[in-house]
Homo-oligomer: A and B are copies of this chain.
């Protein structure tokens, strides 16, 4: 392995876990000449004619699926920090004496700290997937055998579809399923909303195991996962802690600074002329995001403007927009609270979407680029609008990419961020980890002012006459450095030792995360 400089000026490894990598070639700079992955043709002859694929337990299912050393095993993260299935899965794999697994989750959470012992004893060779919290920290200090690979939701779908990642066995925790393997996330004790993060797994894995604590008679409908792609079904007592799978409620921020950011975002959307009948926006689940939705809602009502669609992750605030007739549809890839789950279950206009529909960059278009305005967060932004979402200035890998990179393709991408956190500047000279090329970030909104990417002369023009505090990004940076007493102090890192890589939406390598000493 050697490090080479990519088109973003970042040093990235020329191979990742033994596979030659393609360095980032610029936004829209890489088009593969390739065919999609091609799973084996199966035959009904090998499946029970009565449709009953239920096996006694997960261990038997893994054995029947042919588990062996070095395989790639995938899971999804719709159960979030309440997931009990993944830990049980690796307890069984360990018990079976299997080694060298590539774990391919759509993301991992603090509850998966349990797996560190399996990273240490060689049961798991390495993780490809976002690592929120303890596993990210473990990786940052160079303790994982292989390189971590972080992909966006769309990039994960792309990597499976394109055959970059071949999944041997997919284990899909499903809040409701039938014996044929049809499954959804909207019913049952562990109801989590949609199951789209497992879609690619169900379509392309050699073997697919559905694990449920709510087995219903065929047909389980809606079938977010289709039984025709499923090999085995396993019934367990519980998928995990329902209270950690979805929040009972989500709440807006109470911080005056964050509320100010939220107000600026709503005002920006109106003043820039984006808030018009039939428009669309994406909002996440952070406290600032929730607050901007409330402010925007008031502006929409005042001007009698209705959205065509809004994109989640959904919360009760988006659900209220739908129920009050302020949007025709919610197009939703994950639900963050119980109102979101209920709405998706009951309201046909609250639509289940997937990384395929919304984010896959190697499809015939996707939904993300149709959205008029996406409001996102970031851990750091630099003066060239480049942004980071996985690490802070301490260099530790603590967050996943999620759909964030994919959403950058919206017609107007806004980063709504505090200008500093814990007295450390968020606006910097150069981001610790590059996750977003600056040319895709249109506006940065902080409590100290709004910076518009100079490329977006149309937005700058539209904002003439607005009362918003539009400033040069360097001006905001200088102000923040004065408050914080200077630039962030760089951590000690070994810049010859990457511990993880950040993929761009097209599968190329955008940046490396280096070992923190």
Contacts and interface: CB of A to CB of B under 8 A. Distances in A.
Interface of A: 28, 31-51, 53, 161-162, 180-181, 208, 217-219, 221, 223, 226-231, 278, 308-309, 329, 331, 348-349, 351, 356-357, 360-367, 369-370, 409, 411, 506
A349 B219 CA distance: 10
A364 B32 contact: no
A62 to B, nearest CB: 17
In the A-B complex, the 4 residue pairs with the closest CB atoms = A47-B365, A51-B370, A35-B38, A38-B38
Interface centre among A208, A230, A364 (most CB of B within 10 A): A364
Contacts of A348: 348
A44 B351 contact: no
A278 B216 CA distance: 12
Contacts of A40: 34-36
Contacts of A181: 364
Nearest to A182: B357
A409 B365 contact: no
A218 B365 contact: no
Contacts of A39: 35-36
A180 B370 contact: yes
7 contacts: A41-B162, A44-B362, A44-B365, A44-B366, A217-B278, A219-B329, A228-B356
Contact of A221 (B41, B329, B506): B329
A44 B161 contact: no
A218 B49 contact: no
A365 B361 CA distance: 31
A432 to B, nearest CB: 28
Given A348-B348, A351-B219, A364-B227, A409 B34 contact: no
A31 B50 CA distance: 19
A46 to B, nearest CB: 7
A226 B364 CA distance: 10
Given A43-B361, A227-B357, A348-B348, 14 more contacts: A31-B43, A34-B41, A35-B39, A36-B41, A41-B161, A42-B362, A43-B506, A51-B369, A180-B370, A219-B309, A219-B367, A221-B349, A221-B351, A228-B366
Interface centre among A33, A219, A231, A506 (most CB of B within 10 A): A219
A364 B161 contact: no
Given A51-B370, A219-B351, A370-B51, A365 B180 contact: yes
Contacts of A231: 364
Given A219-B329, A370-B180, A506-B43, A409 B49 contact: yes
A365 B53 contact: yes
Contacts of A226: 356-357
A42 B228 contact: no
Contacts of A162: 41
A367 B182 CA distance: 11
Contacts of A47: 364-365
B45 A28 contact: yes
A51 B366 CA distance: 7
Contacts of A364: 42, 47, 53, 181, 208, 227-231
Interface centre among A33, A231, A367 (most CB of B within 10 A): A367
B43 A369 contact: no
B363 A44 contact: yes
Nearest to A40: B35
A357 to B, nearest CB: 6
A242 to B, nearest CB: 24
Interface centre among A31, A181, A226, A363 (most CB of B within 10 A): A363
Interface centre among A181, A361, A366 (most CB of B within 10 A): A366
A231 B363 CA distance: 10
A50 B228 contact: no
A208 B365 CA distance: 13
A198 B161 CA distance: 21
A176 B431 CA distance: 46
Contacts of A227: 357, 364-365
Interface centre among A48, A357, A365, A367 (most CB of B within 10 A): A365
Contacts of A362: 41-44
A52 to B, nearest CB: 9
Contacts of A180: 365, 367, 370
B37 A32 contact: no
Interface centre among A41, A161, A231 (most CB of B within 10 A): A41
Contacts of A208: 364
Contacts of A278: 217
A365 to B, nearest CB: 4
Nearest to A349: B221
Contacts of A45: 28, 31
A364 B207 CA distance: 10
Nearest to A41: B34
